[in-house]
Amino acid sequence: MFAGSWRARVPEYKASHVNEHKEEYTYLRIRDLPEFPGVRKLVNDKVTSKVSGEMFLHSQSYIVISPSVHESGHIYSWEVFGDIPIWSWGEFTSEFGEFLPEKEATKSKRGRESDEEKRTRKWKGDLRSLDLEALLKEAGLFKEVDSKDPAKFIIRCPFEAEHSKTEDKGTAAWSPHDEKWPAFNCFHTHCAGRKALDYLEQIERDHPGIVDKHCAEKWTYEKGSADRHGRVKVNLPQAGEQEKGEFVADVAKALADKEFWFTSNKRVTRIDKTIEIWTNAEGVEVEGRERLTIFPVSPSEAESTLGIHVCTGTTHWMEEDGRKVKQFVRHSMDNTTAKMLLSAPGLIDNLPRIDRVLDVTVPISVGGGVWTTPKRGYNPDLRLLLDADFKLREMPLDEALAMLNDIVRDFPFADDQSRTHWWARLITPMCRGIMGFGAKVPLWMFLGNRMRAGKDYLNGVAQTLYYGNSYEDPAIPKGDSEETRKRITTALSAGRRSIHVANQQDYLEDAAFIAAITSPVVCDRRLGSNDASAQLEFRNELEFSMSGNVGLQWREDLTPRMRVIGLSYYEEDANSRKFHYPDLHGYVKENREALLSAVYTLLLNWKKQGCPAGGTFTSFPIWARVVGGVLQAARLGDCTEPWEGEEVTGDAR
């Protein structure tokens, strides 16, 4: 034993103990041991040619007292003799060599490969990725998982045939962790000094091919291979090894089926989850459902999250048995590379696409008279993200009409045509998937005979039903079409489905607003840039609505692009009005699934009748055919007919 041979060489040293295996251990005290702040262990891998040393400094290191019983049943016992001498730190290092903090010792070995590392090259697998438990079970060596450490296994020793006694004195193995190989320890004398590779080599001799079989990763680099976590290895842009275009293509291929990053409006986006907070009828803020939205991926976010699915790094060549092999070293991409990646067409054009975000379930035509409904989350076949998965159900038509009439019973519609236009406004969002999401719909103009007639509150009923809350956008100022264009672009960029301009008072002649009502595409440029890459193009599926009072005037060509919903309230004090549902929007919010099912029932009623076409409306022919047809099938009037109320002033100034 090393202790015995060393004591023979240093006869003045007397303190020692001999254990039950006749193994001898030595002791000494160091009077001037230096302080090593934050260091848990000192190591020296060359005490002698065959002996390494470890010195534990951590205060939580444990002490074993003779006799002690290991949880495997093995009993530790020994006999102590001699006095413990006191040495200086200089005497100790002169005799045993320099001990360094573990991290520094590891660093000092960089650039040279140990004999042990060379021995591992006999396997193609990287031992740091070894599924040790699976290997031990297949080899018939596994007994149980240690009760205190799930990474430790109690096993049969692969060298048990060499043990002098059949008594099981305990053998353990530890799974790889912290970029280290697996570890083994056997308490039998014949296994003293054996290291992890000795055990693995013996298991390999008994079961050829078993080590590579259970390694999740190879130590050499092969393009497209995965690491131990199942992530595809991708080489970062590197002179002589990987061009930027190849890097982009590799990342795009790795992410193509992951539904991790998406393309939306020519930008790389991700799905964001938030918890909805709203105030109930009692004025209490409550947590609602989880909301799904899309959010642009920033370069900084890409740096830190790409590693969830892609293992980036660099490669270098090394010589092994006279041949050159390529090795992969993990390394995160920097911010410059992240910016390049997120703007590269090779990534944008090959990620899963999200063309639209739907707030609620709506039927979608897939051709041949067949309708489908999307599931919550990403729908790759429909290229859309569905936020709320309400279960639409059919109900009797009379019940559906009664339910939908009930929520607007207190609004003073000016006439039957206004009510018909309201019905059209209410069901149009449910019909978007049947019309085709690109089909344009008219501007909903809510006109009141006075202030406080309930125009915005009525529109808020439809908003709450489909979007979960009501909202109002500022009035459009006269003579600032550029600002309106920016507002529309921002709304499209954020994935909004509608814009409601509240309390419009100025003469309405805004070219950007009027054009957006019928234009299927909105073009703009990114602020602060004028080059070609800054040009933006958005698919325009916005639904526009507006409120105003008697006397509101607009450009003449806007009249054929709108459907007017007139409200006439004649009581003196509008604030004294009582609603059947005091918190109407709250009621709608709490009953969205039933109310949406009622609207859905109207569409099913139309389908059962063979989808008869509605009236003629040249500006919006598809909308007129579908929405007009649904209303006429339910005997709710003809929404293609204009409203002839006296407040429609056209181009008067």
* Contact criterion met (CB below 8 Å) for 491 and 519: no
CA-based nearest residue to 431, from 632, 605, 611, 603: 603
Structure tokens at 390: 């309400």
pLDDT at res. 180? 82
Q: Please indicate, yes or no, whether the overall pTM of this predicted structure exceeds 0.85.
A: no
From residue 541, alpha-carbon distances to 327, 432, 495, 554 in Å are 50, 9, 10, 23
Distance, CA of 624 to CA of 617 (rounded, Å): 6
pLDDT at res. 121? 85
Residues contacting residue 62 through CB under 8 Å, at least 6 positions apart: none
Mean pLDDT in runs of 10 for the chain (653 residues)?
54 56 68 72 66 65 63 64 75 74 54 70 90 95 91 92 73 84 87 89 96 91 87 91 93 94 93 80 76 92 94 85 80 94 96 94 94 95 92 97 96 95 98 95 95 93 94 91 91 88 93 93 71 72 94 91 94 82 92 97 97 94 97 96 64 38
pLDDT at res. 148? 87
pLDDT at res. 18? 57
CA-based nearest residue to 596, from 388, 441, 411, 371: 388
Distance, CA of 613 to CA of 603 (rounded, Å): 13
pLDDT at res. 285? 81
Q: Is the dihedral of CA 303, 304, 305, 309 positive or negative?
A: positive
* Contact criterion met (CB below 8 Å) for 517 and 540: no
Characterize the bridge pairing of strands 232-235 and 310-320: parallel
Top-level class of domain 398-633: alpha beta
pLDDT at res. 45? 63
Which residue bears the tokens 């055919």? 625
CA 433, 348, 544 angle in degrees (round to 5)? 35
Residues contacting residue 295 through CB under 8 Å, at least 6 positions apart: 269, 270, 271, 272
CA-based nearest residue to 53, from 71, 28, 76: 28
Domain regions of the chain by residue span: 2-108, 116-213, 232-354, 398-633
